[in-house]
Amino acid sequence: MPKKTIVLNIKDQSIEEFLEYLTQKLRGVDYSLTYKSGRVYLTIHGRAEEMEDFIRSARKAHGDFMRIHRPIGGIRMYPKDWLLEKGRGISISLLIRALTARGFVAKMRRDVLMSNVEPSELLDIFGQLRDIYWPIRSEIKQKKVREILTIASFITKEPVMSLLYQAMDEGIIRKTEEGIYLFTIDPELALDKLIGIKKQEEGS
């Protein structure tokens, strides 16, 4: 069977994490590898017509890993497909809003998130957002309301349903006879007010 070897440069301290990442991206591919002096020698086996696709996948995995783990000027680059894989149901737009509200740099350029948040912290934030967002899906069916409340809860650490009731008491959100929650003001202003309410309570 035809085979081809490529060389990928990687630092010693990152090798285990990189190999785990590479393994995920090369599922179903017949390959072998060796590591020596900061280089991964990856040999891919397969039919000639498949070989180039497999090699492109390996090189892309290497490039994506390096952009995530080797920041330039403090900024890391997270590919869209990596974010979707790690987010597990949390949209990129919700993540960006949460990061921005927390004070991180977070800008989407083409299919890459530019941010100064570290990978481990980003994964932790994804987990926090899931813990808030998923349990309220059946109660709050309106995506915009759900996302604003999720961000407010993420920032203030206040239980999300408590924030909903506070928002209704303050006239920021109303509930229709059909059980639909609607903002009575601009959603961004609603977010600022929800965060502000918590700060006022803490200061009183």
- pLDDT for 49 beyond 90: no
What are the structure tokens assigned to 62, written together? 């290497």
Residue range 81-119, pLDDT digits in tens: 999 999 999 999 999 999 998 999 999 999 999 999 999
- pLDDT for 198 beyond 80: no
CA distance linking residue 61 with residue 69, whole number of Å = 12
CA distance linking residue 43 with residue 55, whole number of Å = 9
pTM score of the predicted model = 0.85
Instruction: Evaluate whether 140 touches 146 at the Cβ level (below 8 Å).
Output: yes
Burial of residue 137 (CB within 10 Å: 0-12, 13-18, 19+) is exposed
Residue range 132-169, pLDDT digits in tens: 999 999 999 999 999 999 999 999 999 999 999 999 99
